Every structure is written in C-alpha cells, then in structure tokens.
Structure 1
Amino acid sequence: MNAWIRVCKAIFYCVTAILGRRIFLGGEQLQRPGGILLVGNHISHLDPVYNAVFVRKSGRWPHFMAKSSLWKVPVVGKALTGTQQIPVERNVGAGQEVLAAAIASMEQGKVVVIYPEGTITRDPEFWPMKPKAGVALLALSGDITVLPMATWGTQRVFVPYIKKGKFKPFPRKDITVKIGEPLDLSAYQGKPIDSRAIRDVSFLIMGAVKDLVAELRTEPAPAGFFMPPRPPKPAAKAPVRPLADPGVSDSHQ
C-alpha cells in the first residue's frame, strides 16, 4: 500500500464517519475473485467517498473512472494518480483508450467503479438518468462480474445544483450503500455488439441500479429513465445591413 492510498484511506474513513451514519450492505459480493465492474447511481459529490470506503472495507481497492479535468487540480491530481484511478477524456476519439484502461484493470482482477450517467443526476427526485453506452461496452468486454450499486443519503449532506446552503452535515443522516447480486449477461456474451445490444445491456444494468435505489428509498421506481432537456441552440444572428453612406440619399443607392 503506497503513501497516497494510506493518506486517502485515513481521510475518507474519517470524513465518512463524521458526515453521516454509514450503512453498508452487500459487501460480500466484492469477495468474488477476478475483475469486477461496479455500477452505481450518482446523486452527490460525496458518492465516490462513501463508495470508496465501502469497497475498501470489503477488502478490495476501487478504481474509479473519473473526468480527466480532476487531474489538473493541485494535489487532487497527484492523489488520483497515486491511488490508480482512471481518467476519462471527454474529447472525441479518446473513448477507446479510456475503455482499454478500464478493461486492463479488470483483467488484472481489480474493481472498476463507473457512474453510467456521466454526471450527478438532474432528476428533481434524484432517480437515475439514462445511462451512457460505455457501461455496456465494459460489461461485455470479457469474463468479469458486473455488480449494481445504489447510494442514498449523500444528497442530503451535500446537495447538488444549488449555490447556497448545499452543505448540511447536521443533524447527522443515514447514508446507505448497497451492492446487489451479479447481473446475468450471458444472453449477450459472444454475440455481435451492435447498437441494439449496447442499448439493451446499458438499460438492463441501469435498471438493476434503479431497482436497488428504489429498495433503499422504500418506494417504487418510475418507469424509464430521466432525460434532462437539451440546452437550446444559440439563436442565429440576424445579418447586419451595411450602413449607408451619409452623403448619398436612399433614392440614389
């Protein structure tokens, strides 16, 4: 265990114990041998912190797929590199390299954590959004175990998408993370990975995550997945009419 892992472990254990009552369920699922793809919902910036502690307490070390811009933050970037996290480039053409890095980690028997929504959910009720295709490509990449994971309660401690009063540590709240049973993707293994298969597998995986979220919330999940509205396209600028020569009247132009 290197120095960065020891430091981050100590900080994360302390922070999660202070900010909420940790309730971790299903950690035995991480005792399976070989590579694991751990797929979770995303409701707060605190999710990775609690998820990381849960995975570590279950005897494994998590390798999160995180946006590459975090590597540019002083200290944070060094910590991410030191703890062997996986940078995700958002630019066109970088997707294959990102997938290859995650697949290589799982082939080495590591636990890779992914939030298929790509960002914190925009759903007003914090239900999962439509997943991106990458989770299906990873799930079908080889002989790995795919586990759904649900987190609930972090959004009450660190509220996303508000400018003031987003940090609410008191009174202390329950923060629950549950890992479910492995998903059976045998119907898709060894077959062509076309757009239909990618859609079906990504929805199947995210559907299992949504069901776990519903279980933690003790309420039925909505049908389908939330899709945030696309930002409006910028209005086209009206053509600018050239100014007339002040020395010439309109009748002579």
Structure 2
Amino acid sequence: MTRKLRRPGYGERVGWAWGIVIAVLYVPFSTLVKIRYRNLEKLPQTGPAIVVVNHVSHVDPFLVAKMVLDGARRPRFLAKDTIFAVPVVGAAMRAMGHIPVKRGSVDARESLAAAVQSLAAGGVIVLHPEGTVTRDPDGWPMTGKTGAARLWTLSPDVPVVPIAQWGVQQQIDLYRKKVKLVPRPRHVLSIGDPIDLSAFRDRAPNAAALHEITEVIMRRLRQDVAELRGVPAPEGKLFRWSRATRKGAG
C-alpha cells in the first residue's frame, strides 16, 4: 500500500527548498515509477531516528526521501561535499538540512558532529551504509562503511530504523547504461522494526566494535531485503567490493 501519513498541518514542516524539490522531482517520479510502501507507520512520528537503507540504484535516494516525506518526517541525508559546491544546488541542499561529508578527512568528524546535533534537535538522518550502489552480483546489500555505527555510538538512545528496497534497479541501471521506463518501473520500500544494538551499549567505540555494529546493520538489511524479494537470504559473508575487486573482474 502507499497510504501517506503527511497531510496539511501534520508532520514536520519541510520549508521552501523541499517544496521546490517535491514539485520538480517527486511529482514526476510518482508518475514515472510505481512506488509502493510497506509499514510506513513504523517510521517514528516524533523524535530522532537514524535511518539505514540498502542502495540498489542511483535514483533510489529520491524514492527513499519521498517515502520519508510521505511518512510525515523531513529526511536529512549525509551527502558528498562536492554536491554542495554546485551553485544554487548547494544552497538548496543546506536549506533542506542535508549535511556535507568529505570522506577520508578530519572534516568527516565535523559532519558526524553536525548529524549528532541534528539528532539532538529531533531530526531524521538517512544513510546508505554501503556508500555506493551495491556491486553484489545478485543485488544483495554489501559490506558497509562504519558511518552509521559511529553516529549511533554518539547517540546510543536513538533508534536505528532499517528500510529495505527493491525493484527500480531492474529497469534503471546506470552502471549498465540501462533506462527502461515502459512499463513503469515498480519499486517497493519496506520499513522494519528498529535494529537491536543493545549488546554494544557498553562497548568502547573502537574499530572492532564499529565493524561489528556495521555487520549487524548490513545483515539485518540483507534479511529484510530477502523478505521483500520473497527468497531466502544468502548465507555466509557479505559481498565486499573495492576498486581492486573491479580491476580484478576486468
């Protein structure tokens, strides 16, 4: 079902920038892609949340953002800092509450601090832990980066809410330069119960703990994606991709 929770006078206010994006991007996306939601009511209606999502397509961030907006919340993405350098776009990104991230630098700590501040103010932070569209041969969630785990250790009382998604990549795959809009691509997004990370509350946030937390998050996403696809989740390790893997495959 695709019952929206947002209605006039209800939910977080989105502001002018989101208003433009909704009109320019999300209305056309609703026409081009058949979007279906499951368990939209599981998105916390008040208070902070860390939302983690598997990444299947270059266009799925738009669909995830639309789901969060339809769930009466305002999503705040951690996005590459280069996007914020684009004139007009950068100003709009900041107005929407998104947070620039410069990977592999001290500035990444500043991004986490900004995300923690947003959570403290009751915001919803959305992350794709894989950091890129999955390269798993069968589309399963891959190993993740530790950003979501680091953010949770800094805000351990905030729920980590998983969103599993599947579908649009079968017709829109920019890696393979495939874009097929007829028939309309079908995309399903499903919100799960918060991930139980209580075993890590008393652990020091060292590298080992961060990787273990990330493993728990990604395995949960893989299980939720399996349920969405109606097939058993693969056993064994998560797929690990790197530029060396890509070169080896070539």
Match of 1:174 in 2: 186
Tell me the SS of whatever aligns to 2:174.
Answer: coil
The answer to whether the Cα contact below 8 Å between 2:76 and 2:124 also exists between their aligned partners in 1 is yes
- Paired with 1:160 and 1:139, the residues of 2 have a C-alpha distance of 32
Which amino acid counterpart does residue 72 of structure 2 have in structure 1?
G
Q: Tell me whether 1:128 sits opposite 2:110 in the alignment.
A: no
Match of 1:237 in 2: none
Match of 1:5 in 2: 18
The answer to whether the Cα contact below 8 Å between 1:64 and 1:86 also exists between their aligned partners in 2 is yes
Match of 2:208 in 1: 196
Q: Which has the larger radius of gyration?
A: 1
Greater share of helix: 2
Match of 1:162 in 2: 176
The answer to whether the Cα contact below 8 Å between 2:51 and 2:163 also exists between their aligned partners in 1 is yes
More moved, 97-106 vs 6-15: 6-15
The answer to whether the Cα contact below 8 Å between 1:31 and 1:59 also exists between their aligned partners in 2 is no
Tell me the SS of whatever aligns to 2:136.
Answer: coil
The Cα offsets for residues 146-202 of structure 1, whole Å up to 9 and x where unpaired, read as 101111112123203124xx2211111221011100112122113311222111111
| CA separation of 1:82 and 1:176: change in aligned 2, threshold 3 A | same
Match of 1:107 in 2: 120
The Cα offsets for residues 50-81 of structure 1, whole Å up to 9 and x where unpaired, read as 11111011110000111111122343323212
Match of 1:219 in 2: 231
1:52 to 65, 68, 72: 65
Deviation at 1:25, TM superposition (A): 1.1
Tell me the SS of whatever aligns to 2:208.
Answer: helix
The answer to whether the Cα contact below 8 Å between 1:12 and 1:53 also exists between their aligned partners in 2 is no
- Paired with 2:172 and 2:82, the residues of 1 have a C-alpha distance of 21
The Cα offsets for residues 225-249 of structure 1, whole Å up to 9 and x where unpaired, read as 11124438x9xxxxxxxxxxxxxxx
Q: Tell me whether 1:27 sits opposite 2:40 in the alignment.
A: yes
Match of 1:78 in 2: 91
Q: Which runs of 4+ in 1 moved over 3 A?
A: none
The Cα offsets for residues 95-148 of structure 1, whole Å up to 9 and x where unpaired, read as 211111111111111110000111111112211111111111112222101101
Runs of 5+ consecutive residues of structure 1 not aligned to the other structure:
235-253
Match of 2:221 in 1: 209
Q: TM-score, normalised by structure 1?
A: 0.85
The answer to whether the Cα contact below 8 Å between 2:45 and 2:73 also exists between their aligned partners in 1 is no
The answer to whether the Cα contact below 8 Å between 1:35 and 1:144 also exists between their aligned partners in 2 is yes
What's the C-alpha RMSD, in Å, of the aligned pairs? 1.8
Deviation at 1:32, TM superposition (A): 4.4
Tell me the SS of whatever aligns to 2:125.
Answer: strand
- Paired with 1:52 and 1:230, the residues of 2 have a C-alpha distance of 28
- Paired with 2:107 and 2:19, the residues of 1 have a C-alpha distance of 31
Runs of 5+ consecutive residues of structure 2 not aligned to the other structure:
1-13
Match of 2:54 in 1: 41
More moved, 10-19 vs 44-53: 10-19
Which amino acid counterpart does residue 75 of structure 1 have in structure 2?
V
The answer to whether the Cα contact below 8 Å between 1:68 and 1:87 also exists between their aligned partners in 2 is yes
Match of 1:247 in 2: none
The answer to whether the Cα contact below 8 Å between 1:19 and 1:157 also exists between their aligned partners in 2 is no
